[in-house]
Structure 1
Amino acid sequence: MKLTFTNGNAAISLKRSIDSGTEEQRKTVRFIIDEVRKVGNAAISAFTKQFDGVEIFDFLVSEFEIQQAYSRLKQDNIEIMQSAIFNIKEYHERQLTSSWFYHRKDGTMLGQKITPLDSVGVYVPGGTAAYPSSVLMNVIPALVAGVERIVLVSPPGKDGYLPAGVLVAAAELGIREIYKIGGAQAIAALAYGTETISSVDKITGPGNIYVALAKREVFGQVDIDMIAGPSEIAILADKMANPREIAADLLSQAEHDIMASSILVTNSHELAKAVDSEVDRQLKDLPRKEIASQSIEDHGMIYVTETLTEAVSIINELAPEHLEILTERPDELLGKIKHAGAIFLGAYSSETVGDYFAGPNHVLPTNGTAKFSSPLQVTDFQKKSSIISYSKQAFEENAKKIAALARLEGLEAHARAIESRSWEEE
Structure 2
Amino acid sequence: MKLKKVTALALATVMALGLAACGGNEKKENSKNEDGVVELKFPTYLAGENVGATFFLPQVERFNEKYEGKYKITVEEVPQASYADKIKQLAQQKKLPVLVHAPGSGGIDTQWFQQVALANDMVYDLSDFAEENPDVAKNWVPESKEFCTVDGKLICKPLSVLKPVGLFYNSSMYEPEKDIKDMTVEEFTESLGENKIAFQTAENGWTTQLLLSALIANEEGGVELLNENAADKLWDYSDQAIVNAVTKLQKMMQTNASANTVGAAYADAANAFMSKNASIICNGSWMSSEFEEGSEDKWSNEFNGADVKATIYPGNIALVNPSNYGEFWVSNTASDEEKEAAEAFLAFRDSQEEIEALVLAEGGIAPQITYSENFLTELEKTPLLYQLSESMGEETVYSASLGDVFPASVADVEFGKLLPKLIDNTLTPEQFCEELTKKAEEAKQ
Pairwise TM-score range, normalised by the shorter structure: under 0.3
Structure with bigger strand share is: 1
Indicate the structure whose relative CO is greater, using CA pairs within 8 Å and at least 6 residues apart.
2
TM-score scaled by length of structure 2: 0.24
Q: Which one has a bigger Cα radius of gyration? A: 1
TM-score scaled by length of structure 1: 0.25
